[in-house]
Amino acid sequence: MNKASSIKCDICGAESILIHEGTRDNPDINVYECTSCHTKQLDRIVDNDYDQGFMNEKLGMTAEEIADRLSECRIDDYRRYHMVKDWCRGKRVLDFGCGFGGFLQNISQDAGDVAGVELGCDERGYLTNLGYDVRSSILDHEIPFDVITMFHVFEHLKSPQKWLNDIAGFLKPGGILFIEVPNANDVLLSLYENSAFADFTYWSAHLYLYTKESLTRVIKENGYFEIESDGQFQRYPIANHFYWLAKGKPGGQNVWTFLNSEEINKEYSKMLEEQNMCDTLFFRMIKKGDIQ
Ligand SMILES: [Zn+2]
């Protein structure tokens, strides 16, 4: 299959060069990195587009499989809950891409009202049965929100500006938007240059991997939001990184458990943060008043 050595960066227009041939699920899709804003983007988008109902098929997951999925997400759900709860007290909160609702269930303790957007039928069915208001599109919700959260969703979206416009339309003025995405500058890629991890992490559904600078650019260009804070943190511990480096495989934190020291992981995370090389970016922004 022919592939270009470079393409134009969708985010800033600069040259984006070929850095990886194939993704973990499709050998014909290649990954490019912008020479200016360092966004990583794919050269081809297959029918995995959120706009077209990506993952909208019914899978028929069993109760046990759903419990396993919720259990896998529990640590992230709880961390996210603690990061955002102060802004959600008594508010109307939407989780965009809510999955099986681990975060929604946590935040419903503090929020005045919660709702979700989720394309997966199993997820929607499960949450609807529990009494949650979950729709397949944000456009199906009728009442605007005080807070919208997007945890590991934005990197899946083909038209980030269009989605920011839609989200702005469903946020009250002064409302808060939280976005969490993987960091394109993850130390395993940028410094350790771990090829096994690159083969594993590049995926046809991650259309854009943003850096702090490129996500800032997207939000500023959109104009509806003022960035209040941006930060990063390390989700995966040092045992995970050692295992990638030694064995080229994920899950090291579950194998080399003796390395799971809270103090060491905290220090490691701090060092990565100082180098802008954590695995996760987190933005909090406020919707400005009406734009003319
Ligand atoms: Zn760029």
- Per-residue pLDDT tens digits of the chain, which is 292 residues long: 568 999 999 999 999 999 999 999 999 999 999 999 999 999 987 655 444 444 545 578 899 999 999 999 999 999 999 999 999 999 999 999 999 999 999 999 999 999 999 999 999 999 999 999 999 999 999 999 999 999 999 999 999 999 999 999 999 999 999 999 999 999 999 999 999 999 999 999 999 999 999 999 999 999 999 999 999 999 999 999 999 999 999 999 999 999 999 999 999 999 999 999 999 999 999 999 865 4
CA of 129 to the centre of ligand 1 (A): 43
CA of 45 to the centre of ligand 1 (A): 18
Name the nearest CA neighbour of 69 among 127, 138, 156. 127
Q: How many CB atoms lie within 10 A of CB 277?
A: 19
CA of 8 to the centre of ligand 1 (A): 8
CA of 154 to the centre of ligand 1 (A): 17
CA of 37 to the centre of ligand 1 (A): 4
Backbone angles phi, psi at 224, to 5 degrees: -80, -15
Cα–Cα distance measured from residue 241 to residue 201, given in angstroms and rounded to the nearest whole number: 13
Backbone angles phi, psi at 113, to 5 degrees: -155, 140
pTM for this entry: 0.92
CA of 248 to the centre of ligand 1 (A): 29
CA of 133 to the centre of ligand 1 (A): 37
CA of 216 to the centre of ligand 1 (A): 12
CA of 70 to the centre of ligand 1 (A): 35
Q: How far is CA 277 from CA 19, 186, 196, 287, in A?
A: 18, 5, 18, 28
Supply the pLDDT for residue 44: 83
CA of 80 to the centre of ligand 1 (A): 29
CA of 210 to the centre of ligand 1 (A): 9
